[in-house]
Amino acid sequence: MTHSAAACYSIADLRTLARRRLPRAVFDFFDGGAEDERTLAGNGRAFERWQLAPRVLVDVADASSACSLLGAPAGMPAAIAPTGAAGFGWRGADLALARAAARMGLPYTLSSSATTAIETIAEQAPGRLWFQAYVLRNRDFFWQLVDRAREAGYEALVITVDLPVGGKRERDFRNHFSIPFRFTSRNVLDFASRPRWALDMLLRGLPAMENLRGLETAATSAGAIASSVGRSYDPAFDWARLAEVRERWPRKLIVKGVSRADDATRLAAMGVDAIVVSNHGGRQLDGAVPSLQALPEVLQGVAGRCPVLVDGGIRRGADIAKALALGAHGVLLGRATLFGAVAAGDAGAQRALDILHDELLRTMRLCGAPGVAQLSADLLRPAP
């Protein structure tokens, strides 16, 4: 049995370690998707639809995954995706992810619903920092978050546009899970089944969503929750509001949650700096098109006017290679690195990135691609 991050050899191993360590309700919050979880499963299956046809007799002795990502150097074409409430899995998980990303020269995206403050990440994990600002009904609060990210030196603002309302995550209902926690007979027994986790929460207190202090998001009951912070999202956020963000934010603007060519065309014309093809990891609209499947359409809509990244379902270095071969400029890593952080903190976050980096470099060498630029469409064949 695997008991430490060092003994994990795949993202699946880190996921198993996280499941063993966490109460079911907490693990399911990170692991689960919306409704029947078809989109969650579809994101992973989309990578299986492509097979690699490697080139041979290529000198790959000095192969490197180093690249330029959104105008700055990166150790590989990836960034850490925003993942909310990570501190409920491992105290300080946000910092663990940010530090691991900085060591590899990757951007780290802090979620609005993180359990570590914007300023704390900037002070304690300096590196390439992006801030994901959820669009909130409380517009003054939203702009305060944006201003804080600018003042703390974040290089990019990420606006998530696929979340006018929270998804229906039924695992959370069944587990009586909500944020803030509301204790019931079911979830208290669940929490008690993981005494080391529970003792930390009892002795040191439950983490808070530090960036949302002062924003009312309390749940009335487990059965009433679609997504814990989702009650605060602004379903009226539209193109005009996004244009205002573009006008007021002076640095790179990334729009996450796009799956259509027409939306991509309009965003590129607006002057966004990058687009992320994403369905929110299958956590919102079940039945949505898998991200990798949507990538070619979005690339067509962008027509080279800005970089396009893809998010969702990446569990192997070969998945990163396939996304790049299909035309993505990079990927966002969500659950893959989150499993490491909530399984084993700093060591787990670092292990997740090390695994993916090693697998990507190994795939590149085995495919005759000494650099990421050689991960091209001619390496792919549709699976029978």
How many angstroms separate the most distant Cα atoms in the chain? Answer: 63
Q: Give the pairing type, strands 78-80 and 330-333.
A: parallel
Count of CB atoms situated within 10 Å of the CB of 55: 15
The reported pLDDT for the residue numbered 197 is 93
pLDDT value at 5 more than 50: yes
Note the pLDDT tens digit of each residue in 268-322: 999 999 999 999 999 999 999 999 999 999 999 999 999 999 999 999 999 999 9
Which residue carries 């951007």 as its tokens?
107
pTM for this model (two decimals):
0.95
The reported pLDDT for the residue numbered 218 is 44
pLDDT value at 224 more than 70: no
Count of CB atoms situated within 10 Å of the CB of 208: 14
176 is an active site residue? no
The lowest-confidence range among 108-117, 143-152, 186-195 is 186-195
The reported pLDDT for the residue numbered 206 is 87
The lowest-confidence range among 85-89, 186-190, 260-264, 291-295 is 186-190
* pLDDT (average), residues 322-341: 98
DSSP assignment of 281-346? GGTSSTTPPPHHHHHHHHHHHHTTSS-EEEES---SHHHHHHHHHTT-SEEEESHHHHHHHHHHHH
Q: What percent of the chain has pLDDT over 90?
A: 85
**More confident site: 229 or 241:** 241
pLDDT value at 379 more than 50: yes
Contact 312, 282 (CB under 8 A): yes
273 Cβ partners below 8 Å, 6+ apart? 70, 156, 252, 253, 254, 306, 307
Q: What is d(CA 155, CA 133) in angstroms, rounded to the nearest whole number?
A: 13
pLDDT value at 74 more than 50: yes
The pLDDT-based confidence of 229 (bands split at 50, 70, 90) is low
The pLDDT-based confidence of 1 (bands split at 50, 70, 90) is very low
The reported pLDDT for the residue numbered 107 is 98
Per the structure block, which two tokens stand in for 228? 């814990």
Q: Of 3, 176, 280, 329, which is the active-site residue?
A: 280
The pLDDT-based confidence of 216 (bands split at 50, 70, 90) is low
Q: What is d(CA 263, CA 255) in angstroms, rounded to the nearest whole number?
A: 11
Calculate the average pLDDT of the chain.
93
pLDDT value at 225 more than 50: no
Q: What's the CATH number for 5-382?
A: 3.20.20.70
The reported pLDDT for the residue numbered 214 is 85
The reported pLDDT for the residue numbered 20 is 97
Residue ranges per structural domain of the chain: 5-382
Note the pLDDT tens digit of each residue in 46-66: 999 999 999 999 999 999 999
Note the pLDDT tens digit of each residue in 160-182: 999 888 899 999 999 988 877 77
